[in-house]
Structure 1
């Protein structure tokens, strides 16, 4: 039976990927950010998952306003990095796991979650930056990846509670898979930031850290927070944090905090990183 090892929550700031790609991780601005990632890298190197389910959002790369699935699951054998306007990131091709991907799709749909099944898709920084955060710059990614793309861009977005319950369904799907594999799940995006408009550059460190406290201790209550509060307190892009709730829903009610890191600023974003294990 497949085993869920734990969960990772991380922001997917595109400039973090650029710092990795251009060898700037030890420059004074970026060094504190990348130093704060080291304990998470150590954890995943020791855990050695066979597959990572990476929950992320597309930034009008593969999906745009002409096709906006609420939840899209990648079941292909590989996923190319998307050209986001300055060429694809110089990172390895993301290798999928079609057998496990189709199992997840079947289990989730029969569990009454309407998942869009995608065989051919590109992945942008929303997915590749978290891989760089956890694995650095390998010649190939050390695990297979199941992309789970969530719409947090186009209204109406799914509720935090819907995301939390999807995580629970993913846990059931993992534990019903009869192959002996180790799985980790990533929730990505956020934390507080806004990229446009009068509030561009907003960062709410107090709210972010209170949200992280509740994310660990009382996730079911946290999942009931509405979009209006998130937009008001964390900015228009801060709503990405609902994707972390998919990761949290897949874990036990009570979890062990392996690593927690928060840093401001990373570009114009509040960077958060959390590694959790079931107790």
Structure 2
């Protein structure tokens, strides 16, 4: 009987799992935590009176969101003691993401958990405010206010124009080549005047301890890194979209993976996001 219940629950849950993982990941910024939340939702789905649930997707989305709100409390405490800049775990996609890019996820970090939930559910996933209200246990008017406050905070993080997919990947490949070979002339042509570098090593691998900002500071950093790369080869594995931004995956000299994502404005690189923390790269293996 237990096996039959499991199969019955899985048959209705599994088609929704990818959507639920998307919700959870965008709430938490962690692949492992998102998968844990979705798995806990499945356990609750098995125990639920499923015949009484009229809209399984809404029920499960509500369950996952509430689990994520609970997790955010402990996640925020962990990030207060995090070593160096914190970046979300990289999600690799073949196409550019249109809903939530890496800069937007960083902007979401500055919101309260309820603002984050209201904004994601309504503005990103198209959920009506009645369901948002039922999910976060606030009235619809309050949910509209939460979403409006969130919207004002994250407006600047929205992409201002759509980047041609192939152009983005070509620029990522060119950046890899110039940064590793030490071609500072070619690299300088790619960088915006206010370019910044954000590197997440989590205290596990060497990385800059705070964001590096401005053309001169970033080119100095890249010049010193090029000297390092001459002795410690970095291998390009794939050019891909990392959290919706063009970038690449490399295997570094220490044998570990690394992701680099490029925020591009016009034809120039405005920000460089590097994830080196091995704990955040396990799922890529």
Normalised by the length of structure 2, the TM-score is 0.24
Q: Would you tell me which structure has more helix in proportion to its own residues? A: 2
- Which of 1 and 2 has greater Rg? 2
Normalised by the length of structure 1, the TM-score is 0.24
Q: Which has the higher contact order (CA 8 A, sep 6+)?
A: 1
Q: Would you tell me which structure has more strand in proportion to its own residues? A: 1
